[in-house]
């Protein structure tokens, strides 16, 4: 009987060793260890033995059971590991494959200039304002002190939708809109946006371009405050290398008025100047029409030509590059600015 028991053990261990997968292993488990399995049946044989042999035989059966269980467990662990390795192998990520190519865009050079100017002025307490590109003649001209028959209107011909509606010729109408909105309260704003003029496009002219308007209205605002703001801005944009020139000028909506030029090095090595903005103290008529008493309030305003700043900053020779959507041009401005 004992011999038979060890035969069962040998056989079980061999089968376990040879099992190829978990399913086969389970069949072996049932065959030997289930209630009617070969090892369990041996337990039933106890009663056939003489009383004195029962304890040692019972012990042997138990040892066999434990040995088979142990072998099953070890084989199961082995097979599970093999299975896991197979899964890992089949799901392996091949890191040597070339990745997908992502194209990274960049901020348009004109928007970089606008963001740069906004950063400065927001830091100085200005709000950013906006106005419509399709504008009323009233805001674009009349509230800017350019009556219907004013000769300076000739310099700002535009695209008219009807007699009183045009594509704005400058961002100055946002001055008028903001003044009316603030109802006599002090204000400081900058307003970037597109403007339009009737012009034939060439390397230095475009029928559509961009400006940034600035307006400050408060008590005790003087020309020195304007000059301070302008110089701060030009230094912020160009650093200290460029020479800045303020020239007396004329705008119907400011008095006195100036134009600001920034120096650049010409191709032949000599120094030239490019006008980058117009500015001045707000004309009393404009204040009055905007709802401010010029005896109490003063203000200054400026209008920056965004393309001109970008042309100077990045040495660009044709304004039309900004609008052509040519990636060979735009791709050169990645990471410039910030």
Give the residues lining the site for ligand PHE (CB under 6 A).
Answer: 170, 172, 251, 254, 257, 278-280, 301-303
CB of 332 to ligand PHE, least distance (A): 28
Residue nearest to ligand PHE (CB): 303
CB of 214 to ligand PHE, least distance (A): 7
Q: Which is nearer to ligand PHE, 64 or 175 (CB)?
A: 175
Q: Which is nearer to ligand PHE, 28 or 144 (CB)?
A: 144
CB of 301 to ligand PHE, least distance (A): 4
Residue 314, SS3 per DSSP: helix
Q: Which is nearer to ligand PHE, 262 or 301 (CB)?
A: 301
Query: Residue 172 and residue 195: Cα distance in Å, rounded?
Result: 10
HEC profile for 153-218?
HHHHCCCEEECCEEECCCCCHHHHHHHHHHCCCCEEEEEEEEEECCCCCECCECCEEEEEEEEEEE
- For the chain, helix, strand, coil in percent to 5 are 50, 20, 30
Cβ neighbours of 10 (radius 10 Å): 10
Residues 215/245, Cβ–Cβ less than 8 Å:
no
Query: Residue 177 and residue 282: Cα distance in Å, rounded?
Result: 15
CB of 326 to ligand PHE, least distance (A): 27
Q: Which is nearer to ligand PHE, 221 or 279 (CB)?
A: 279
Q: Which is nearer to ligand PHE, 260 or 312 (CB)?
A: 260
CB of 93 to ligand PHE, least distance (A): 59
Token reading at 201? 């496009």
CB of 148 to ligand PHE, least distance (A): 18
Residue 315's φ and ψ, nearest 5 degrees, are 55, 55
Query: Residue 250 and residue 259: Cα distance in Å, rounded?
Result: 9
CB of 122 to ligand PHE, least distance (A): 19
Residue 160's φ and ψ, nearest 5 degrees, are -100, 135
CB of 251 to ligand PHE, least distance (A): 4
Q: Which is nearer to ligand PHE, 8 or 129 (CB)?
A: 129
What angle, 0 to 180 degrees and rounded to 10, lies between the N-to-C axes of helices 54-90 and 22-33? 170
CB of 266 to ligand PHE, least distance (A): 24
Token reading at 131? 């106005």
Token reading at 208? 């559509």
Q: Which is nearer to ligand PHE, 308 or 313 (CB)?
A: 308
Residue 135 CB partners (closer than 8 Å, separation 6+): 165, 166, 167, 168, 173
Query: Residue 26 and residue 20: Cα distance in Å, rounded?
Result: 11
Q: Which is nearer to ligand PHE, 158 or 254 (CB)?
A: 254
């Amino acid at each position: 009987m004992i011999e038979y028991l060890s035969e069962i053990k040998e056989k079980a261990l061999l089968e376990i060793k040879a099992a190829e997968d978990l399913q086969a292993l389970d069949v072996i488990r049932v065959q030997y260890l289930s209630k009617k399995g070969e090892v369990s049946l041996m337990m039933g044989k106890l009663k056939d033995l003489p009383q004195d042999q029962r304890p040692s035989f019972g012990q042997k059966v138990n040892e066999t059971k434990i040995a088979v269980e142990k072998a099953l467990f070890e084989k199961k662990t082995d097979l599970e590991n093999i299975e896991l390795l197979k899964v890992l192998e089949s799901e392996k990520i091949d890191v040597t494959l070339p990745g997908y190519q992502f194209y990274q865009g960049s901020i348009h050079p004109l928007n970089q200039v606008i963001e740069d100017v906004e950063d400065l002025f927001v830091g100085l307490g200005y709000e950013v304002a906006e106005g419509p590109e399709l504008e009323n003649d009233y805001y674009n001209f009349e509230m800017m002190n350019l009556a219907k028959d004013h000769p300076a209107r000739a310099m700002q011909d535009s695209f008219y939708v009807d007699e009183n509606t045009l594509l704005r010729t400058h961002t100055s109408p946002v001055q008028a809109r903001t003044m009316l909105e603030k109802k006599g309260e002090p204000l400081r704003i900058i307003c970037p946006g597109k403007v339009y003029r009737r012009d034939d496009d060439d390397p230095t002219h475009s029928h559509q371009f961009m400006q940034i308007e600035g307006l400050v209205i408060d008590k005790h605002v003087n020309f020195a405050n304007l000059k301070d703001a302008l110089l701060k801005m030009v230094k912020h944009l160009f650093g200290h290398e460029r020479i800045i020139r303020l020239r007396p000028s004329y705008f119907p909506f400011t008095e006195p008025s100036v134009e600001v030029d920034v120096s650049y090095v010409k191709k032949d090595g000599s120094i030239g100047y490019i006008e980058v903005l117009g500015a001045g103290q707000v004309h009393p008529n404009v204040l009055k029409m905007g709802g401010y008493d010029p005896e109490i309030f003063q203000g200054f305003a400026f209008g920056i030509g965004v393309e001109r700043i970008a042309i100077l900053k990045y040495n660009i020779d044709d304004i039309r590059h900004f609008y052509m959507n040519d990636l060979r041009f735009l791709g050169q401005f990645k990471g410039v600015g910030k």
